């Protein structure tokens, strides 16, 4: 039985202090899954242009890579262990598939990683390795990266992507978290989800290439982790919504999983 996959829209850093329904939904999903041996995570906030980097720190520090938010955010930490051996194994697998990869013994976890992990695994005892995103890859090559990582699911490693299906700060109503949801954002997200639910890589690539996500994701890094997760799926995986909704009018909090259909259904 393969470990599950998860994509989470991590929203604004303030979600760490004001989780609403998002935090409990992640906690409930994780508590219904077999305990992972480790987590391998890709985030919108860690990109490399010349290859792929993995965190090899035994105690990866918490990176507060944002500014101008509530001072309480800068006191939060996620003191999780790293897994240098897993990092080296992933790097070796990537190199075997023609991708330059290396292990960085110093880098920590950015907020796209540690904020959702605080809800998923609040005890901070499951080792975490973060993998950088390839900054210039398109949908199909991102999915191919996910396929390269797929085998690690057989070793009880959760593969987690953290980004956002609709993530455009210019369209957000910053002063009102409960602002009415903008219809274009719903339509863009649902159109992409049609392809994600069906594990349709070619369809997702065509949808993006046609400009259907141009307003939803004016820069590609928040969408990219979803395509890595998509590529890591098996034909036997079933799609499951973990959390749905928007904040500030257009900021998606959509979180979904792919779960091995040979596994007993997890708690809702």
The HSE-up count of residue 113 (CA atoms within 13 Å, CB side) is 33
Task: Look at residue 157 in the predicted model and tell me its pLDDT.
Answer: 98
Return mean pLDDT, the chain: 96
List, for residues 72-118, the tens digit of each pLDDT value: 999 999 999 999 999 999 999 999 999 999 999 999 999 999 999 99
Cα dist from 195 to 62, 74, 96, 261, whole Å: 34, 38, 29, 19
- Over residues 24-42, the mean pLDDT reads 98
- Over residues 55-84, the mean pLDDT reads 96
List, for residues 157-172, the tens digit of each pLDDT value: 999 999 999 999 999 9
Domains, the chain, with CATH or none? 5-260 (3.40.830.10)
User: SS3 for 262?
Assistant: coil
Per the structure block, which two tokens stand in for 169? 């700060």
Whole-prediction pTM value? 0.96
The HSE-up count of residue 121 (CA atoms within 13 Å, CB side) is 21
């Amino acid at each position: 039985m393969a470990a599950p996959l998860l994509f989470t829209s991590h929203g604004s850093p303030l979600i760490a202090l004001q989780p609403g329904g998002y935090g409990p939904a992640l906690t409930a999903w994780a508590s219904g899954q077999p305990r992972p041996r480790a987590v391998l995570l890709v985030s919108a906030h860690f990109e490399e242009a010349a290859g792929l980097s993995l965190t090899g720190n035994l105690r990866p520090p918490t990176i507060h890579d944002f500014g101008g938010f509530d001072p309480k955010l800068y006191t939060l930490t996620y003191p999780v262990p790293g897994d240098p051996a897993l990092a080296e194994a992933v790097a070796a697998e990537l190199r075997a598939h023609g991708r330059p990869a290396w292990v960085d013994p110093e880098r920590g976890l950015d907020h796209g990683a540690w904020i959702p992990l605080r809800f998923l695994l609040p005890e901070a005892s499951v080792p975490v390795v973060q993998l950088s995103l390839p900054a210039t890859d398109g949908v199909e090559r991102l999915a191919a990266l996910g396929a390269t990582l797929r085998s690690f699911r057989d070793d009880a490693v959760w593969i987690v992507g953290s980004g956002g299906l609709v993530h455009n700060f210019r369209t957000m109503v910053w002063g009102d978290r409960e602002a009415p949801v903008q219809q274009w954002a719903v339509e863009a997200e649902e159109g992409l989800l049609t392809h994600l639910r069906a594990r349709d890589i070619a369809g997702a690539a065509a949808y993006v290439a046609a400009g259907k996500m141009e307003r939803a994701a004016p820069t590609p890094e928040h969408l990219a982790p979803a395509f890595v997760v998509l590529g890591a799926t098996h034909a036997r995986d079933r799609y499951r919504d973990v959390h749905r909704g928007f904040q500030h009018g257009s900021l998606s909090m959509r979180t979904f999983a792919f779960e091995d259909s040979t596994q007993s259904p997890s708690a809702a």
